[in-house]
Structure 1
Amino acid sequence: MKVGIDILGGDFAPDANLSGAVLAKNELPSDTTLVLIGDKDQIFSGLSALGANPDDFEIVHAPDVITMHDHPTRAIPQKPNSSIAVGFDLLANKQIDVFASTGNTGAMLVGAIYKVNTIPGIIRPCITSVLPSIDGTQAILLDVGANADCKPDVLYQFAVVGSLYSKHVYGIENPRVALLSIGEEESKGNLLTVATHKLLAESDDLNFVGNIEGRDLFLGKADVVVCDGFTGNIVLKQAEGLYGLLRKRGVKDDEYFNRFNYENYGGTPVLGVKGNVIIGHGISNDIAVKNMIKHAYEVASSGLSAKINEAFN
């Protein structure tokens, strides 16, 4: 398997990305090839500084950078030699099995949709986040920012792709799906959640367990939690903020709250596109990059994209 890594994306590039790649190389199966995409000179000098052998990696020269300030829809065509654009070219041409980046999230979403293409039948691709549960399990929340405005049929599809992700990557045979709302009753919520509840409740393809309230998100009541990207992004940022406050208050050795650290998860797949695309946090350090690469390997190994395509076609 070939895992493509954007070496120039993120706040701490290229150092954190190269260090994370070296760490991941030591933990992945020996038949895995890490393809480092970025400025060739920076990659060689960075690997040398880390004491790593460049021959252990495949290196693809892509000297330009899509920054966090570049416009997502214009960046890829304007910078065809950027690490993100080259990475998507490699993925689209099946020269790599999965492409991972901590770079410009908007550009990654645009590249996933227009370079790799959306799976037929998918209305809108989405991204996820992990919700650590107090019982030791974890749930996935989707969408968390790709789609601020949604309609009921879009949320229904989030439930389907979320269930497939939970089943094939996390090994949960019959994932419990819940809808995030302001009350457990099916009549509670806004027009979107009430209409979505009806669609989910009538489905024979999902293990729908009803509405879930914000206070129950971390109690292990569901394996997949569905919401629009506006709401999901607020939940995600609130959880990150709470973790930061706990650290500032000296809570640093709590086994449960340590699971809120984004470094543990590394990245999230773009669900609903024809290829395997993983987006990491822009502030990722080497540990987060390592875990992003490992998750990229897991997603590609599971054949998740192909299984979603099969489900919708």
Structure 2
Amino acid sequence: MKLAIDGMGGDNAPKAIVEGVLLALEDFPNIEIQLYGNQLQLQPFLKEHNRLQVIHCEEVVEAEDDPARAVRRKKDSSMTRILEAVTDGSADACLSAGNTGALMAGGLFKVGRIEGVARPALATTLPTIDGKGFLMLDLGANADAKPENLLQYAIMGYIYAKKVRGIDNPRVGLLNIGTEDKKGNDLTKQAFTLLKEESNINFIGNVEARDLLDSVADVVVTDGFTGNMVLKSIEGTAGSMMAMLKEAFMASTKTKIGAVLMKSELKKLKGKLDYSEHGGAALFGLKAPVIKAHGSSNARAVYSAIRQASIMVEHNVTGIITETIAQNPEQ
């Protein structure tokens, strides 16, 4: 399979991107990588590899660029070129750690939606206490949603969790303010009814935000506004918790000794909260896999995102979503 990678996107590009690419090529013999970017800037970090093709681009979509305008005007940018690669079929999937809005806009304008999908959703795997993680969508592709959108999110999330994450019969939960069937606003009440009637998923009912890290569900669906706030709350809480633990362990000689004795346990805890092990955020509902890696991705995170993209291609996730949506034209 061929993967198109934006070598210039993200806070740590191009070094982290190239290093992640080289790690992936070493571990995944079934992939070929097309690395797009400024060849002069990429060159210091590159190594010769027979499955790596570097494609020079003159432009870069910057973090501060207007999303839609950047994709339209910067036609020779690394981000625009990777999207065109999956559109014309020269690559099977693409990945960028750059401007999220531009990647989503480009995904819609260039790659296009699967027929029958009203609105694509941004989804990623978030950590849980048991280390298994859960998939959550939408995380911000659409601030507003209709009940039918949440049903499609659930179907796409279920397929991804089953095919990519290897969960036999993923539990799908609807994020709500209570677990009772009648809880919530008009959106969640109507969505609950649709999800309960859907035979293609394993719907377990409403779930609350406080239970998400306890592995209450394998897939959690919500509107993009709510999902984005929950995502940032989890990220902020995890970061604050690690900072407070570090401060507590550095408070005195006694606690510093304790930190040394607990080093392996603390490393495990940090690993459970590390986004880099889960890959990136996928834009579900597009005609080809488009992966958004975290803007601050290091080489390990890029490697994980490449692994995620390759598994999506290998298991034909986009094709299965297309077939499932086509079988349910009333959604």
Q: Which amino acid aligns with 1:133?
A: T
Runs of 4+ in 1 over 4 A off after TM superposition: none
Matched, 1:66 2:61: yes
Per-residue CA shift, 1:56-88, capped at 9, x if unaligned? 511111120011111111111100000011111
Alignment of 1:84-123 (within 5 A): 84-123=79-118
Tell me which residue corresponds to 1:33: 32
Quote the Cα distance in structure 2 between the aligned partners of 1:158 and 1:267: 17
Tell me which residue corresponds to 1:255: 268
Alignment of 1:189-200 (within 5 A): 189-200=184-195
Matched, 1:134 2:129: yes
Are the aligned partners of 2:127 and 2:275 in contact in 1 as well (CA < 8 Å)? Answer: no
Quote the Cα distance in structure 1 between the aligned partners of 2:66 and 2:130: 42
- Alpha-carbon spacing, 1:258–1:160, altered in 2? closer, same or farther (3 Å): same
Per-residue CA shift, 1:127-160, capped at 9, x if unaligned? 1122323334221111111111111111111111
- SS in structure 1 of the partner of residue 241 of structure 2: helix
Among 143, 150, 156, the residue aligned to 2:151: 156
Are the aligned partners of 1:131 and 1:217 in contact in 2 as well (CA < 8 Å)? Answer: no
Per-residue CA shift, 1:147-196, capped at 9, x if unaligned? 11111111111111111111111122221111010111111111211111
Q: Which amino acid aligns with 2:226?
A: T
Among 317, 323, 326, the residue aligned to 1:304: 317
The Cα of 1:44 is off from its aligned counterpart by 2.3
Moved more, 52-61 or 142-151: 52-61
Are the aligned partners of 2:164 and 2:308 in contact in 1 as well (CA < 8 Å)? Answer: no
Quote the Cα distance in structure 2 between the aligned partners of 1:53 and 1:241: 40
Matched, 1:292 2:287: no
Please tell me whether Structure 1 or Structure 2 has the larger radius of gyration of its CA atoms: 2
Matched, 1:181 2:181: no
- SS in structure 2 of the partner of residue 255 of structure 1: helix
Are the aligned partners of 1:269 and 1:278 in contact in 2 as well (CA < 8 Å)? Answer: yes
The Cα of 1:217 is off from its aligned counterpart by 0.7
Are the aligned partners of 1:239 and 1:260 in contact in 2 as well (CA < 8 Å)? Answer: no
Q: Which amino acid aligns with 1:40?
A: Q
Task: Tell me the TM-score normalized by structure 1.
Answer: 0.94
Quote the Cα distance in structure 2 between the aligned partners of 1:193 and 1:75: 35
Among 233, 258, 264, the residue aligned to 1:238: 233
Is there any run of 5+ residues in structure 2 with no aligned partner, and where? Answer: 247-262, 327-331
Tell me which residue corresponds to 1:280: 293
Quote the Cα distance in structure 1 between the aligned partners of 2:314 and 2:142: 27
- SS in structure 2 of the partner of residue 37 of structure 1: strand
Quote the Cα distance in structure 2 between the aligned partners of 1:60 and 1:304: 27
Q: Which amino acid aligns with 1:197?
A: F
Are the aligned partners of 1:40 and 1:60 in contact in 2 as well (CA < 8 Å)? Answer: yes
Task: Tell me the TM-score normalized by structure 2.
Answer: 0.89
Moved more, 38-47 or 192-201: 38-47
Are the aligned partners of 1:135 and 1:219 in contact in 2 as well (CA < 8 Å)? Answer: yes
Quote the Cα distance in structure 2 between the aligned partners of 1:15 and 1:164: 34
Among 222, 234, 252, the residue aligned to 1:227: 222
Among 199, 206, 228, the residue aligned to 2:201: 206
The Cα of 1:107 is off from its aligned counterpart by 1.0
Per-residue CA shift, 1:222-250, capped at 9, x if unaligned? 11111111111111111111221122123
Quote the Cα distance in structure 1 between the aligned partners of 2:117 and 2:24: 32
Quote the Cα distance in structure 2 between the aligned partners of 1:291 and 1:205: 28
Quote the Cα distance in structure 2 between the aligned partners of 1:177 and 1:277: 23
Q: Which amino acid aligns with 2:309?
A: A
- SS in structure 1 of the partner of residue 284 of structure 2: coil
The Cα of 1:295 is off from its aligned counterpart by 1.3
Quote the Cα distance in structure 1 between the aligned partners of 2:50 and 2:171: 45
Quote the Cα distance in structure 2 between the aligned partners of 1:136 and 1:32: 27
Q: Which amino acid aligns with 1:46?
A: F
Are the aligned partners of 1:44 and 1:54 in contact in 2 as well (CA < 8 Å)? Answer: no
Among 151, 165, 172, the residue aligned to 1:170: 165
- SS in structure 2 of the partner of residue 60 of structure 1: strand
Quote the Cα distance in structure 2 between the aligned partners of 1:231 and 1:175: 22
- SS in structure 1 of the partner of residue 36 of structure 2: strand
The Cα of 1:301 is off from its aligned counterpart by 1.2
Quote the Cα distance in structure 1 between the aligned partners of 2:201 and 2:76: 43
Question: How many residues align structurally?
Answer: 308
Is there any run of 5+ residues in structure 1 with no aligned partner, and where? Answer: none
The Cα of 1:102 is off from its aligned counterpart by 0.2
